[in-house]
Structure 1
Amino acid sequence: MTEQKPLVLDIDGTLLRTDMLYENFWAGLGSDAPQTIKAAVSLFRDPAALKSVVYEIAPIRVDLLPVNADVLSMAKDAQSQGRPVILASASDERLVQAVADHYGFDGAIGSKDGHNLKGSNKAAALVERFGEGGFDYAGDHPVDVAIWDKSDRAIVVGGANGAADHYAAERVRHIAAEQKTSEIIRAMRPHQWVKNVLLFLPMIAAHQFDLKTIGLILLGMMSFSFAASCIYIVNDLLDLEADRLHAKKCKRPFAAGTVPIKTGMIVCAALGLSSMLIGAFLGWAFFGVVVLYMILSLGYSLKLKRLRWIDIFTLASLYTIRVVAGAAASQVDASVFMLIFIFPIFVTLGCVKRLTELTLAVDDNRLPGRGYGRPDRPDLLNVAVLGMVGALVIFFLYSFSEQAQTLYPSRWLLWVALIPIFAWLNRMVRLGWYGKQDYDPIVFALKDKRGIGLLLITVSLMFYSAGLWQQWFGF
């Protein structure tokens, strides 16, 4: 009887809202990047062997992979009617079997022994096992036409680019793919671009406010924004498992499967290239800073963020590089004192970031993909306070420098400015300790009205000390 015919499901893009080869590849990059890259290059023309090798490098947790709820529901309904449900995928057979076992399906067929079970190869295997027309098949890709031609019913997930439109309507069932390519904008995290206002600091410190300088810095911000989005995508792809274990990050586009990993990889490459092209236009000095930022960010994503304390100093370096980039883009000299002053501030903010994550953690275990647990909160608080005190001392010493004497005739106002600087840093640390701010302290700082007020008071005092208010407004 027709209703007893097996229901055969593809996995990638059909049962699951992801692709297991790409999942394995990025998991491999996170655990053993050299071996994964070597395998990808050497076995590029042998997909079955590549899938086997990357599976062995970094097995993935199938229970965390995002599932298409409609396809799963269809499969469970079929089983309740006595129909066997079989998974047939071009992924490594061991991984296919693991997915079948997890969902309680009745069988699994996958790639093995150098035989890539895709397209016509999969069609031949299914016909040999069930006979032509002896099964229904659910797939999502134009290559699945070869299998639909041999199946009784074609179940098309996501449209398959219209590849199944020529079949009679009674032979086809359509199911939504639950993927939204438009979500790639969210994956780029454009709200994080506000951090690139740090590029303006050298211009502000040098009191050089001409249109040319502002225009160059805006181009620099564009380059850094593209570079940052590129790295955010890389970071999300490397952190798929950790994000899926996180209460909030599990909703990120790649972790939730709302954006295909392949789409993310293409957009990532385009963003990186665009960033470097703009960087080259702004000069080799700026280009070098952008490349350094991307390399350090990649190192952070691959390894450094998992190392206690090193991750915080790396974060502080990434923020400081933005200030250096502002100087390189605008060709304004960055004061050594300014760089020494802002680095401990960013160390403090790095500690605040971890404090926030730990305060909001549900238990004392180490955070997924991080080197800290809740018992580390007192140590992080101590380092945050040391960074805050260090920044204030350096700012005070700067007020006696030759540059300060030249730029700020009323130096006593710089000492007054220490008060709102301390108030702002203390507020950030306190809110982090109590878990009352965003996971990214820079983004939070640029939305925090009280904090912005303290920063504006600081800048106003410095401008008044420099005589800029008198120069611009006559008072």
Structure 2
Amino acid sequence: MADKKPLVLDVDGTFLRTDLLFETFWAGLGQAPVETIKAAFRFLSDPARLKARLVDLTEVRTDLMPVNEDVLSAAREAQAAGREVVLASASNEALVKSLARDHGLSERVFASTEDRNLKGKTKATALVEAYGEGGFDYAGNDDIDREVWAHADRALVVGDEGSAKAMEAQGKPVIRIEGGYALRKVAKALRPHQWVKNILLFVPVMAAHEFSLATLGLVALGMIAFSLAASSIYVVNDLLDLEADRLHVKKKHRPFASGAVPISVGMAAGFGAGLIALVLAAWLNPAFLGIIVVYMGLSLAYSLKLKRMRWIDIAVLAGLYTIRVIAGAFAAGVYVSGYLLVFIFPAFLMLGAVKRLTEVTLAEGDERLPGRGYGKPDRSDLLNVGIIGIAIALLAWFGYSFTGQAEDLYPTRWLIWLCLIPITWWLVRMLRLGYFGKQDHDPIVFALKDKRGIGLILIVIAMMFQAAGLWEKWFSQVVG
């Protein structure tokens, strides 16, 4: 009987909302980067051996991988009707067997081995040999699956309307299942809400009192370039953190971890963003291009390795924020004081500690966080790092007030000293909120939404402008 025929499910993009080859590739970059890159180049033209090699290099949890719930529902209905549900995939056999066990499907699987890539005609031949012509129903999601649907009794088509129509034109019974992805999810994967961090590029312009439209325009272009560069690294970071994100209470909903956006689409979007960033940077000036290359290189190193190294990760985070300030100076062609950098780096060292403090405080257990080197027992040490960062930042601010540049730019020096009060208030408040887990996992994003904190920052800016005599100057220009 037709309804007793086995239901055969493709895996990548059909049963799973992800791709096992890309899953193992990115897991390999995180676990054994050098060997993974070597394997990718060596076996680029031999997919079967590449898949086998990546499986040897990595440990991945197939039970955490996102499943297409509609396909899973169809599988459960078939099982309830007494039908065998079988996985058939071009992915490596070891992973496909693991996935079948995770979801209680048939122990019999059809998959790639080191010597055979089970795809298209090869898969169709294997299934016909096992079940006979028209002896099975098949679920797939891509043009290549037409080779298999042609030999199946019924076609379950996931998110591929073109193939669904083609099969219907051939007289094949078709069941449509929702699939694919939304462009808004791709945009979300680029994390545009994080672009507000790049407002730091305007800090040197404000410190130098260079407010011409030409200067601000150059920095705005620099901010766009930095935002796109950051987005390209965010994509890499998320792809390297797939398993850790899936174990996280909030991050499991990210586009790649949840399967809302295919890994291949994310890779293309990340590459495109990075390329545009470099072109824009080169157009601005060579120095800015150099600093954005350094930023992307350090960010990539952070994503691959440094973020898993205790204390070093916090220093690198502070360095990445400091680089943004330097980039703003290069984009605008203005001088940036060494004291400003000495103030910025420890301030962001404190914020890096706050980021980790928030994570460990909100963690449910005392064990170290997945993909991180910290746990709840580190709260006191993280607090101490934050306190040290605050102290050094305040000393740098006070020391700057005695420099020749400060004397030239801020005639009313006592107001610069008075700024230490709201600055201290803001820094201590951020550290306290992080210690008690009362802010977002990203302190910079939190700071730009925090009304009280924004008020303190605006007070500092207003006092600095007053100390520089800018309010009086601008008022006289308006009145005049």
TM (norm. structure 1) is 0.98
- The answer to whether residue 153 in structure 2 is matched with residue 152 in structure 1 is yes
1:146-182 Cα offsets, whole Å, 9 max, x none, are 1000111111011254365342576111111163343
In structure 1, the partner of 2:49 is 49
In structure 1, the partner of 2:24 is 24
Instruction: Measure, in 1, the Cα distance between the counterparts of 2:440 and 2:81.
Output: 49
Instruction: Measure, in 2, the Cα distance between the counterparts of 1:165 and 1:182.
Output: 28
1:40 partner amino acid: A
Instruction: Measure, in 2, the Cα distance between the counterparts of 1:298 and 1:442.
Output: 20
Instruction: Measure, in 2, the Cα distance between the counterparts of 1:178 and 1:263.
Output: 11
Q: What stretches of structure 2 of length at least 5 have no aligned partner?
A: none
1:25-58 Cα offsets, whole Å, 9 max, x none, are 0000011111111111111110000000011111
Q: 2:218 aligns with which of 216, 228, 231?
A: 216
In structure 2, the partner of 1:86 is 86
Q: Residues 227-376 of structure 1 correspond to what in structure 2 (within 5 A)?
A: 227-376=229-378
Instruction: Measure, in 2, the Cα distance between the counterparts of 1:96 and 1:264.
Output: 23
Number of equivalenced pairs: 475
1:68-123 Cα offsets, whole Å, 9 max, x none, are 11111111111111111111000001111111111111121100132100000000
Instruction: Measure, in 2, the Cα distance between the counterparts of 1:21 and 1:170.
Output: 30
2:75 partner amino acid: A
Q: Is the 8 A contact 2:17 2:260 kept in 1?
A: yes
In structure 1, the partner of 2:5 is 5
Q: Is the 8 A contact 2:343 2:397 kept in 1?
A: yes
State percent identity of aligned pairs.
Answer: 58
Q: Is the 8 A contact 1:141 1:160 kept in 2?
A: no
In structure 1, the partner of 2:112 is 111
Instruction: Measure, in 1, the Cα distance between the counterparts of 2:145 and 2:161.
Output: 8
CA drift at 1:409 = 0.8
1:397-416 Cα offsets, whole Å, 9 max, x none, are 11111111111111111110
In structure 2, the partner of 1:444 is 446
2:385 partner amino acid: V
In structure 2, the partner of 1:424 is 426
Q: 1:390 aligns with which of 385, 389, 392?
A: 392
Q: 1:413 aligns with which of 412, 415, 419?
A: 415
1:162 partner amino acid: S
In structure 2, the partner of 1:72 is 72
Q: Is the 8 A contact 1:348 1:383 kept in 2?
A: yes
1:195-214 Cα offsets, whole Å, 9 max, x none, are 00000011000011111100
Q: What stretches of structure 1 of length at least 5 have no aligned partner?
A: none
Instruction: Measure, in 2, the Cα distance between the counterparts of 1:159 and 1:320.
Output: 46
SS of 2:86 mapped into structure 1: strand
Instruction: Measure, in 1, the Cα distance between the counterparts of 2:277 and 2:348.
Output: 24
1:179-233 Cα offsets, whole Å, 9 max, x none, are 3343011111101000000000110000111111000000000000000100001
CA drift at 1:3 = 1.5
Instruction: Measure, in 2, the Cα distance between the counterparts of 1:28 and 1:51.
Output: 11
1:331-387 Cα offsets, whole Å, 9 max, x none, are 001111101111100000000111111111111111110000011001000110110
1:449 partner amino acid: K
Instruction: Measure, in 2, the Cα distance between the counterparts of 1:184 and 1:59.
Output: 27
Question: Larger deviation: 285-294 or 97-106?
Answer: 97-106
Instruction: Measure, in 1, the Cα distance between the counterparts of 2:360 and 2:77.
Output: 42
In structure 1, the partner of 2:58 is 58
Instruction: Measure, in 1, the Cα distance between the counterparts of 2:380 and 2:207.
Output: 34
1:312 partner amino acid: I
TM (norm. structure 2) is 0.97
Q: Is the 8 A contact 1:216 1:282 kept in 2?
A: yes
In structure 1, the partner of 2:163 is 162
Change (3 A) 1:243 1:278: same
Instruction: Measure, in 2, the Cα distance between the counterparts of 1:376 and 1:165.
Output: 59
Change (3 A) 1:162 1:131: closer
Question: Larger deviation: 410-419 or 175-184?
Answer: 175-184
SS of 1:208 mapped into structure 2: coil
Q: Is the 8 A contact 1:356 1:438 kept in 2?
A: yes
Question: Larger deviation: 220-229 or 56-65?
Answer: 56-65
Q: Is the 8 A contact 2:157 2:164 kept in 1?
A: no
1:278-327 Cα offsets, whole Å, 9 max, x none, are 00001110000000000000000000000000000000000000000000
Instruction: Measure, in 2, the Cα distance between the counterparts of 1:119 and 1:36.
Output: 26
CA drift at 1:59 = 2.6
Q: Is the 8 A contact 1:181 1:260 kept in 2?
A: no
Q: Is the 8 A contact 2:11 2:88 kept in 1?
A: yes
Instruction: Measure, in 2, the Cα distance between the counterparts of 1:170 and 1:163.
Output: 9
Q: Is the 8 A contact 1:68 1:178 kept in 2?
A: no
- The answer to whether residue 134 in structure 2 is matched with residue 136 in structure 1 is no
1:155 partner amino acid: L
Q: Is the 8 A contact 2:164 2:174 kept in 1?
A: no
Q: Is the 8 A contact 2:142 2:163 kept in 1?
A: no
Q: Is the 8 A contact 1:26 1:237 kept in 2?
A: yes
Instruction: Measure, in 2, the Cα distance between the counterparts of 1:180 and 1:16.
Output: 17
Q: Is the 8 A contact 2:416 2:467 kept in 1?
A: yes
Instruction: Measure, in 1, the Cα distance between the counterparts of 2:40 and 2:161.
Output: 27
Aligned-residue Cα RMSD (Å) equals 1.2
